[in-house]
Each structure stands twice: as C-alpha cells, then as structure tokens.
Amino acid sequence: MFSQTFRSLWRNKLSSFLSSLTTGFALFLLGTSFLVSINLGYMYQMAESQMEIQAYMNKEASDAELAAAVTQIRDMPGVSEVKFVSKEAALEELKDMFKDKASVLDSLEEDSPLPPSVRVNTTGAEQIPVVVEALKSIDVINDVIYQEEVSERLAQIGKAVQYLSLGGMLIVGIVAVMVIANSIRLAIDARRQEIGIMKLVGATDGFVLMPFLLEGVFLGLLGSALGTGFAVGVYNWVAGKIAEFIPFMPIVGLETQSIQEMFGIMALTGVIVGLTGSAFSVRRHLRV
C-alpha cells in the first residue's frame, strides 16, 4: 500500500509537487502569523516588565521597619520583583547621574537628603493599580509614583494584542485550510476518471480512498515541513535585518522548542486538512 502511494506520488509528481508547494506556502503564512504573534507578545512583555512602581518611604523609618515593609510587599499578590534602594544607594545613583558635576553634590556627603524607596515590578500591567493601592496602605510608605496612563494603555494594548494575534492566526488558518483543501480538490478532480475506472473494475470505496488518504497525509506532512522551513528561513533573515538596523527592537530568537511547536501546529493542520480534503474530494467521484 505504501509503495503504491509513493509510486502514485512519483507518477503524478508535478501535481504532487504543486500541491505540497501550495500547502507549504499556505502553512508558511500560518507559521509567519504564529511568529509575528509570538513577537507581539514578547514586545508587550518587555514593555510590561519595564513598567516599574516607585514607592518612597519615610526617611525616619528604622531599618527594621523598612525590612518589614519590603517583606510585606514581596508577599503581595501580583508582585513579581521588589528592589529596595536605601538612602545611601539612592545618593550613589544620583551621584552617578551627575558624576561630571561632582562638586555640587560634595556637600551632601554626610547625610543623604533622599528617602529610601522600593522599586516594584508586577506580573502584568493590569496588576499595577491593585499593587499601587496596596502600597499606599503601608505606613512607612509616603508616596507612590507610577505611570498611571501608560500602565492603563499598556493593559488595554495587551488585551488587544492577544485578540488581534489570535484573530489573525485564525483568519490566516482558515485561508490556509481553504487554499490547501482547494489544491487537493483540483488535484483529485484531475484524477476523477481514474477513480471512476477503479470503481467500474470493482474496487470498493474504501479501496479507492485509501491511497488518496495516504497521499493526503504525506502531502500534508511534506507541506508543513516546507512551510516551517520557509517560515524559519524568512524569519531569521528578517530578524537579522532588524537587529542590524533597529538594534533596540526586541525580537524573539527562535529556539528549537518554538520551531517544534510551530511544526506541530502546521503538521496537525496539514495532515487534518490533507485527510479530510482528500476524503471529501474523492467521495464526490465515488458514485459510479
């Protein structure tokens, strides 16, 4: 049965080749949309992780009080990272910023005029308002500073990005499925005489269908390999160009795992569409 499938693929090599190329191209689009969506997610995460809340604390508070507050903050839900900046450290940072104008700050050597603070990162932009409220309720904290508008916008964008990339992948997925199904249909329509002859010679529907199903699976796999290959190649090329011209733009480096995931999605799409597409297309010609 398998050798027959390969022989048939080989003898119909032009149409097999075109079908797998079409499948590959359709899946390439799907893969590209998958990669774009990974990157949008990544960019959003980067932006999110840079959203920092600064909580300024009472200058007079004792070290023990400060330490207790930091522990309390660490345990808050929605908090991912807490960095304590002591009075002295704050002064060092300030000096660092103005190191060419050191003289201005020399007088401050003795006692730091700056309050100690904590810098808090949240697990997501939507957590920021909650965490801010919780911080404000802590005694030793005098003032909480964060980019209110930016964080709200970011939370909105985050949702939009999720929906958009999901919707985009869905649309591209549907288009890919239609393109693949259509190419299979054309390839099988071209062989409807063959199917009719098989039936007239006494083949059962299953017997006629089987090799077409195997071909469908095989073309689906071949197409998804091609599609993954194209997508990874193009992606790496584009990522290289971007890194060259816009060095600060965050781009996800492709790991083996995401390539495998992508191939998985494509192979699944390719094989399912290959199978059902072949089955439906052949069925139309079986009534002889």
Partner 1 sequence: MISFRNVSKVYNGSVKALNGVSLHIDKGEFVFAVGASGAGKSTLIKMIYREETPSGGQVFVLGKDLAKMRRREVPYFRRRIGVVFQDFKLLEHKNAWENVSFALEVTGTSRREINRRVSQALNLVGLLDRREAFPNELSGGEQQRIAIARALVRNPDILLADEPTGNLDPKTSMEIFSLLERANLYGTTVVVATHAQDIVNNLRKRVVELRDGTLVRDERRGAYSC
Distance of closest approach, residue 228 Cβ to partner 1, in angstroms: 30
Q: Which of 105, 175, 179, 203 binds partner 1 (CB under 8 A)?
A: 203
Burial class for 252, CB neighbours closer than 10 Å (0-12, 13-18, 19+): middle
Which H or E run contains 139? none
Distance of closest approach, residue 284 Cβ to partner 1, in angstroms: 15
According to the binding rule CB under 8 A, does residue 18 interact with partner 1?
no
The pairs formed by 3-6 with CB atoms below 8 angstroms and a separation of 24 or more are 4/211, 5/211, 5/214, 5/215, 5/218
Q: Which amino acid is at 227?
A: G
Q: Which of 103, 104, 202, 253 binds partner 1 (CB under 8 A)?
A: 202
According to the binding rule CB under 8 A, does residue 14 interact with partner 1?
no
Does residue 87 contact residue 111 with C-beta atoms inside 8 Å? no
Q: Of 122, 178, 129, 177, whose CA–CA distance to 149 is shortest?
A: 129
Number of H helices, E strands in the chain: 10, 4
Q: Which of 74, 192, 199, 283 binds partner 1 (CB under 8 A)?
A: 199
> Which residues in 59-118 contact partner 1 (CB under 8 A)?
none
Nearer of residues 206 and 247 to partner 1, judged by Cβ: 206
According to the binding rule CB under 8 A, does residue 190 interact with partner 1?
no
Nearer of residues 171 and 288 to partner 1, judged by Cβ: 288
Burial class for 251, CB neighbours closer than 10 Å (0-12, 13-18, 19+): middle
Distance of closest approach, residue 209 Cβ to partner 1, in angstroms: 12
Helix axes 148-189, 13-49, angle to 10 degrees: 170
Q: Which of 138, 189, 194, 229 binds partner 1 (CB under 8 A)?
A: 194
Nearer of residues 249 and 288 to partner 1, judged by Cβ: 288
According to the binding rule CB under 8 A, does residue 197 interact with partner 1?
yes
Nearer of residues 11 and 119 to partner 1, judged by Cβ: 11
Tokens (6 digits) for 227: 């599609």
Contacts with partner 1, residue ranges (CB under 8 A) = 8, 11-12, 193-194, 196-205, 207, 288
